[in-house]
Structure 1
């Protein structure tokens, strides 16, 4: 049984007063449990749209998406939201941390939609996950008190704290230097191996793409398997988009990057039991803690 399958998926949008625009064209992709897939494509090739399909954020115009061999169209919108929260972890280039919450509270947020023992032990689980990424000493720090590298690690911990079955990473190293980017990918790989999660990495960077076991190229909405993720030379526009913005480079200095230590964290995270997953819509961050 496959974890996620796209069959002849197309996505078409109709801009105002414009002819229909096909963004994805007959995409076929099957993701198995524990799989590791890279997708390389230039700007405008449809990568973001494909990510939305894989993350169950959008439905295709035609074709079929199946999760655990069940058609995604058979789920209600609320059911898709719950499935996404329980089974899919997103890792993005931007941190998107909640500014008014500590590092621990940011990582705890996804666990508010768990149930049973996972919900009551949410702070312990979040703290263990932060220890895994080397931030056990920064639990109570606000995002504006963290370096750029530390914010990146908090964002990764938050994305992976529920032990997702599928990890979707969209340009996860785009704002980092080469060595730090490799360390980030090693961390994601470690968590994926620990949980048995499948990975889909969408990237411009052939160095990151080579880490995967299967490689695909997305070009003008058409997805094709390739043997060499290097593909063709990057355009100048691609290189500009891969470069970190000046403010991002300034916020992550050389000393901070040198002490990231993402690939050498020795703490062991206590990841949630998949059987405990399930929404509690009325959960709040200040709900009473249970006994550990």
Structure 2
């Protein structure tokens, strides 16, 4: 009786355990130097943009004689400036007025610009491109050209001295925001709107239920742009507001600067402290809304 020959078992080579399985790619020295230079340039640019606010924040904690000593770490710390600014000026009233103007200005211009942009992007009518060109042509007019006629209109309506002229003009949309949102609406597929119309949806329902949710990043971007513009606006408050009880924060800062900066009293610690209180809301807004801000710019740029 013969036995079958034994079959040798295959030997599986194991990878060496004393070294990495894959060899890492070495970065060329020139590329490393380039990355270092880019990082250094970004750090310098960041420092240049951050330094003014850091100096302002530091100066707000200094006594009057040390405001301009250019130290980022105060030699003498004081919190009295933040108590004096609320007693010296009606900052609470100015902040409330600014919030009212900012909310009304941002919401109205976003809503009206979206509706106008939707009309130019979705509907087909004779002379549409010509009319849209006229809307864009208004962006070429300097603000000084329309300043006096606009003032006369608000004076005839009896709104000079109130907050209405600071946001009422936004009821008629903005040419820049119309252009921005129209480019976004044009990138949306028309098949969605045609399908909604076949299901019985009217133009307003198509706009509010389909178009607006799809362009939410662009709407958020428009809202943030206008919030920043309305919060820091000084020209219109200087023109239309005379009573300190109706001042916004930028107009109030101008009054404080005239009184304590160049008016002979030289209380610069009050001015810089009020400036910090004014700047902080914008920093917090960008900090919490930067995701929507960057998403809105990226999405509008790629689809526009």
For Structure 1 versus Structure 2, the TM-score category normalised by the shorter chain is under 0.3
TM-score when scaled to structure 2?
0.25
TM-score when scaled to structure 1?
0.25
More helix by share: 2
* Larger radius of gyration between Structure 1 and Structure 2: 2
